[in-house]
Amino acid sequence: MKLIIDTNIIFSGLIKQSITREILLSPYFEFYIPDFYNIELNKYKSYIIAKFNGNEGDLDDLITILHEKLFIVPEKEYSDKIEKAKEIIGKIDPKDVPFIALALSIENDGIWTRDDHFNKQNEIKIYSTSDLLSIYYEKIKYDKETEMDNQKEIKETEHKQ
């Protein structure tokens, strides 16, 4: 599943071990974010460190791991959709224009956010953490069932030999 991710989700996943972090690190999802995220991360890093259960080195390690899964998209990749995004969400919350512009620019399944004001638009599908939790558990369940089926098939094959 390919999602645009709101900065607040990343910060939440960095601050504490939670289902948000588990989903962020899951192989079942691809996450994309506008490049101004880096500015936001630097701006709020001291706040995150203060809330983080660990030291700055541990946080930096977690950020590195997360960045391996995160596609940070340069503005030039979505700048042609900024005006359309302003029409969609600019009057609701101008800070969210880049997320909508990015969602309009690349193939994706929607935006993962905690901000309810995204739901005031109807151009882009919005996912909450609970929505993704359901999807995540379904994928885990499917993988476990598939693994059990594969093990059963191997045993049956071995038994026939």
Would you list the DSSP string of the chain? Answer: -EEEE-HHHHHHHHHS-SHHHHHHT-TT-EEEEETTHHHHHHHHHHHHHHHSSS-HHHHHHHHHHHHHHEEEE-GGGTGGGHHHHIIIIITT-GGGHHHHHHHHHS--SEEE-S-GGGGG--SS-EE-HHHHHHHHHHHHHHHHHHHHHHHHHHHHHHHH-
| pLDDT, tens only, 92-126 | 999 999 999 999 999 999 999 999 999 999 999 99
| pLDDT, tens only, 124-145 | 999 999 999 999 988 887 666 6
Q: Is residue 15 over pLDDT 90?
A: yes
**pLDDT of amino acid 148:** 62
- The CATH classification number of 2-132 equals 3.40.50.1010
Q: Mean per-residue pLDDT for 59-84? A: 96
Domain range summary for the chain, segments of one domain joined by +: 2-132
